[in-house]
Chain A
Amino acid sequence: MEQQQMIHQYLNTLQRYLARLSPAEAKEVIREIESHIFDLIEQCEAAGQQADAASILQGFGEPRQLAEQYVAHMTAGAPPPLGFRAIQRVKHGVTAGLYYSMAAFGFLTSFSLLFLAGAKLITPDAVGVWAMSEGNSLTIAFLAEPFPKEQELMGMALVPVAAVLGVLVMWLTRRILTVLKSQL
């Protein structure tokens, strides 16, 4: 009886996954598989063996995967449902918007860093990075009255650090833009 129940449960689950077929088509599929299973069980019993529902069902695989194969023809080559074109347009808009804002953000950051490096080189005393409030805030600034030297971070090392960072950000931006452009 437990065997019967296992088969029943399998077919019920399969039927649920076949919901995309018409009821008549789904019924036809179930009927054929059911017939196959009971044929096998009868053959086992005729040979004097105990039928093993689990091993019979194993040949059919998971109900969901089996159903997917029956439903596959419905999704293969089918045009996208109505309304999908609008999503494509929105996606395209997002990509274009993303492209330009990425370009603006990336190059602005890059140029700022390069400018900072140049400025520090030309007016070392007025430009720098300072830590204030005992490290709770960080200031990058041009100042007429510079902070005490002890509080400045990096000092002249800011020039190569900012320059390298600037070049790196520019390179990264160009890489990202290349990827985005191929999606446009």
Chain B
Amino acid sequence: MTTDDKSQEKWEVQLRKGSLELVILAALKDRTLYGLELLKVLQSFKSTAITEGTLYPLLDRLKREELMDAKWVQEGDIRPRKYYCLTAQGETKLADLTNLWRQSVQDIEYLLAHPGPDPIKVSGV
């Protein structure tokens, strides 16, 4: 592995870490999922693939912060499972994080679409 690959991987890890809360809130929007289900959803996307060891403690934290609710449900004969859904507070947080995310993507896209040597129009300075 070259240094470039390594630093790229580092960047990916940081990005994934930073966006994870938004990813989980988004996956649970208007949906009720149990841990394993949610994990499989996240692992089906290249940039959101995380392990059990990351997911469960994070779910625990989000529940403590009252962004989501959890309850044990037993369907028929199968073992009870702990299902998660967003609280009203979680919905608000999702909306806030969504705005931040979109702003960030929009800003970065703008920079990428406007390389030099032309100066970038700077407003408000």
Binding site for B on A (CB under 8 A): 29, 31-33, 35-36, 38-40, 59-61, 65-66, 69-70, 72-73
Contact = CB atoms under 8 A, between A and B. Distances in A.
B85 to A, nearest CB: 15
Interface of B: 35-36, 51-53, 56-58, 60-61, 64, 79-82
A38 B80 CA distance: 11
A33 B35 CA distance: 9
B57 A70 contact: yes
A35 B53 CA distance: 14
Contact of B79 (A29, A35, A69): A35
A11 to B, nearest CB: 13
A39 B36 contact: yes
A36 B60 contact: no
Contact of B53 (A38, A65, A72): A65
A69 B57 contact: yes
Interface majority SS (helix, strand, loop, mixed), chain A: helix
A61 B51 contact: yes
A40 B36 CA distance: 8
B56 A61 contact: no
A32 B35 CA distance: 8
A33 B57 CA distance: 10
5 contacts: A32-B82, A36-B52, A39-B81, A65-B53, A66-B57
A36 B35 contact: yes
Contacts of A59: 51-53
B5 to A, nearest CB: 23
Nearest to A40: B36
Given A35-B81, A73-B61, 5 more contacts: A32-B35, A35-B35, A36-B56, A39-B36, A60-B53
A61 B64 CA distance: 22
Contacts of A65: 53
Nearest to B81: A35
A132 B70 CA distance: 84
B52 A35 contact: no
B56 A32 contact: yes
A39 B79 contact: yes
A8 to B, nearest CB: 16
Given A29-B60, A73-B64, A36 B53 contact: no
A65 B35 CA distance: 19
